[in-house]
């Protein structure tokens, strides 16, 4: 079998490899992907550092053309790349193709941003002096990504990093190297000079840690768990380097008595269970007022009965498998914890067998949960959702905000007053009214508050805040 190698200083290198296994069919090896070493990572950082002076001064048209070419190729190959994504991560084929399209759109967006780079000229308070405010690239950016969005998250970090003139060392999650390899191959062939983009696949404790320990990495953008995020933060402070963290969530969706029941059930089913609940923006707490509680639970349970859990590649599958055995164990451990804490298992909770061997779990719904239970406070990152009964809107809002996280929050209501109040008073970075908490646009800011995020927002124009450093220059006329 071919080994998909690392890209370091413009050369494909590496002979040791790890198997990429399909979670829908564990007999299938998606491919063999290089297992990077400390030395590979150091070489990649050195190559990115050497390539920075020229790339940071490259023309905006060159950057535009390369990013546009990459976006166009990803779009042209959306079915093939979507299938690769579904096979390595386990989200359904339509979800995977949708994610691939989003990756293409992100490259298109930043291809445009390259042409819109601008600064400001303002008068000084002193006569005859002009002041220019411009943005410089940071230098070498370390990109560390998780497994749950194998093409979109790499895209939303790679595209702005390159657009603003930085060079890159990119380490994808070991579980899902295939889409990252494909995207790097596309960018490399689109014409990036040698060393501007370096890919080092391999273990977080080896490749990721070497990036954290390097004084030559000027910025690290990280998406993943809270625990690893803390390591990124500590190491970055040590090196006085900029960092950006996107971490977990325990996103609430409030359902009020006056909600449109169908809208509320669709939003809850989508954001709780689609993509196997493995989205940082998934709603894992449904906070429901008394008047609609029983009707809502009955309608949601009826909806869950119609959802098909099966091989991600099969047409008609609504929910693919859990990503791997370790995550499946986490999910089933939390189901056991929920039972012991006294929540009522209203639906699911069991492993399922399908034609192909994989990590299949029923969508699982707990009712009679409290906001103090561990299943309501800790991120599970699987298709496991709790319903918390509350008296009224005020208690719902307080419960929604009573969490260490603050990524996304939703409300289902037909009341303009409550929707408006919720948008203003939710302590989350993203708020959805009558929509799932997951599923966001590619051209507007993404990110959270409290324990969910640290540093500037990702995506859209706001991405410039992380990937550039502002310079203020004074000139005597």
Q: By CB under 6 A, which span of 36-44, 85-93, 141-149, 416-424 interacts with ligand NDP?
A: 141-149
The correct pick among 69, 203, 377, 421 for binding ligand NDP (CB under 6 A) is: 203
Pairing label, strands 25-34, 408-412 = unpaired
- Shortest CB 174 distance to ligand NDP, Å: 3
The correct pick among 204, 439, 445, 456 for binding ligand NDP (CB under 6 A) is: 204
When asked if residue 253 is in the footprint of ligand NDP (CB under 6 A), the reply is no
The Cα–Cα gap between 379 and 374 comes to 9
When asked if residue 451 is in the footprint of ligand NDP (CB under 6 A), the reply is no
**Could you say which residues in the range 209-228 bind ligand NDP, by CB under 6 A?**
209, 212, 223-225, 228
Judged by CB under 6 A, how many residues of this single chain contact ligand NDP? 28
Q: Provide the greatest CA pair distance for the chain.
A: 78
The Cα–Cα gap between 102 and 267 comes to 20
**Could you say which residues in the range 173-192 bind ligand NDP, by CB under 6 A?**
173-174
Measured in degrees and rounded to the nearest 5, phi and psi for residue 101 equal -60, -40
When asked if residue 205 is in the footprint of ligand NDP (CB under 6 A), the reply is yes
Inter-helix orientation angle 78-89/60-76, to 10°: 70
When asked if residue 381 is in the footprint of ligand NDP (CB under 6 A), the reply is yes
The Cα–Cα gap between 149 and 180 comes to 10
- Cβ atoms within 10 Å, residue 95: 23
Helix, coil or strand: residue 13: strand
Specify which residues 143 forms β-bridges with.
170, 221
- Choose between 165 and 460: whose C-beta lies nearer to ligand NDP: 460
- Shortest CB 467 distance to ligand NDP, Å: 17
Asked if residues 158 and 183 have their Cβ atoms less than 8 Å apart, the reply is yes
- Choose between 149 and 164: whose C-beta lies nearer to ligand NDP: 149
Q: By CB under 6 A, which span of 166-174, 329-337, 346-354, 423-431 interacts with ligand NDP?
A: 166-174
The correct pick among 22, 24, 92, 145 for binding ligand NDP (CB under 6 A) is: 145
Known catalytic membership, residue 280: yes
The Cα–Cα gap between 83 and 105 comes to 18
When asked if residue 456 is in the footprint of ligand NDP (CB under 6 A), the reply is no
Alpha carbon dihedral 180, 183, 186, 191, in 10-degree steps, equals -90
- Choose between 173 and 183: whose C-beta lies nearer to ligand NDP: 173
Known catalytic membership, residue 95: no
Q: By CB under 6 A, which span of 8-16, 25-33, 243-251, 297-305 interacts with ligand NDP?
A: 243-251
Asked if residues 103 and 152 have their Cβ atoms less than 8 Å apart, the reply is yes
Identify the active-site residue in 73, 113, 266, 280. 280
Cα separations (Å) of 130 from 126, 135, 474? 9, 17, 6
Burial, 205: exposed, middle or buried (Cβ in 10 Å; 0-12, 13-18, 19+)?
Answer: exposed
Measured in degrees and rounded to the nearest 5, phi and psi for residue 423 equal -60, -40
Q: By CB under 6 A, which span of 161-169, 245-253, 418-426, 436-444 interacts with ligand NDP?
A: 245-253
- Choose between 124 and 205: whose C-beta lies nearer to ligand NDP: 205
Q: By CB under 6 A, which span of 20-28, 161-169, 242-250, 387-395 interacts with ligand NDP?
A: 242-250
The Cα–Cα gap between 46 and 296 comes to 57
- 443 Cβ neighbours under 8 A, 6+ residues apart: 105, 109, 459, 460
- Shortest CB 156 distance to ligand NDP, Å: 9
Identify the active-site residue in 95, 99, 246, 266. 246
Inter-helix orientation angle 177-189/60-76, to 10°: 130
**Binding-site ranges for ligand NDP (CB under 6 A):** 144-148, 171, 173-174, 203-205, 208-209, 212, 223-225, 228, 231, 246-249, 280, 379, 381, 407, 452
Catalytic residue positions, numbered? 246, 280
């Amino acid at each position: 079998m071919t080994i998909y190698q690392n890209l370091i200083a413009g050369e494909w290198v590496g002979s040791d490899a790890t198997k990429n296994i399909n979670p829908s069919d564990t007999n299938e090896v998606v491919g063999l992907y290089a297992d990077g070493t400390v030395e590979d990572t150091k070489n990649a950082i050195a190559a990115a550092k050497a390539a920075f002076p020229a790339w940071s001064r490259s023309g905006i048209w060159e950057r535009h053309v390369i990013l546009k070419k990459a976006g166009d190729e990803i779009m042209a190959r959306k079915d093939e790349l979507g299938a690769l994504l579904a096979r390595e991560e386990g989200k359904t084929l339509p979800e995977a193709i949708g994610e691939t399209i989003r990756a293409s759109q992100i490259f298109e967006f930043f291809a445009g941003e390259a042409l819109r780079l601008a600064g400001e000229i303002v008068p000084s308070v002193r006569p005859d002096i002009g002041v220019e405010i411009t943005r410089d690239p940071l230098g070498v950016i370390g990109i560390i990504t998780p497994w749950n969005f194998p093409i979109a998250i790499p895209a939303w970090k790679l595209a702005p990093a390159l657009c603003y003139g930085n060079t890159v060392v990119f380490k994808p999650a070991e579980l899902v190297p295939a889409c990252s390899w494909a995207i790097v191959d596309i960018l490399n062939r689109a014409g990036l000079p040698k060393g501007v983009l370096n890919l080092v696949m391999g273990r977080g404790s080896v490749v990721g840690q070497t990036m954290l320990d390097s004084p030559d990495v000027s910025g690290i953008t990280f998406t993943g768990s809270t625990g690893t995020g803390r390591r990124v933060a500590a190491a970055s402070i040590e090196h006085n380097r900029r960092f950006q963290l996107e971490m977990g969530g325990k996103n609430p969706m409030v359902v009020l008595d006056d909600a449109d029941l169908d809208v509320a059930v669709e939003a809850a089913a989508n954001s709780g269970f689609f993509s196997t609940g493995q989205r940082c923006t998934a709603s894992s707490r449904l906070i429901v007022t008394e008047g609609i509680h029983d009707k809502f639970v009955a309608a949601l349970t009826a909806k869950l009965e119609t959802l098909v859990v099966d091989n991600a590649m099969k047409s008609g599958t609504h929910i693919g498998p859990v990503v791997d055995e370790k995550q499946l164990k986490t999910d089933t451990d939390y189901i056991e914890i929920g039972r012991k804490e006294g929540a009522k298992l209203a639906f699911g909770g069991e492993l399922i067998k399908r034609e192909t061997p994989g990590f299949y779990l029923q969508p699982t719904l707990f009712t009679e949960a409290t906001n103090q239970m561990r299943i309501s406070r800790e991120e599970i990152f699987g298709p496991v959702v709790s319903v918390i009964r509350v008296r009224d809107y005020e208690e719902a809002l307080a419960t929604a905000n009573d969490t260490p996280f603050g990524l996304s929050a939703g409300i289902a209501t037909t009341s303009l007053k409550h929707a408006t109040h919720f948008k203003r008073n939710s302590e989350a970075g993203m708020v959805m009214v009558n929509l799932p908490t997951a599923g966001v646009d590619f051209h507007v800011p993404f990110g959270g508050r409290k324990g969910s995020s640290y540093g500037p927002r990702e995506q859209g124009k706001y991405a410039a805040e992380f990937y550039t450093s502002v310079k203020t220059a004074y000139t005597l006329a």
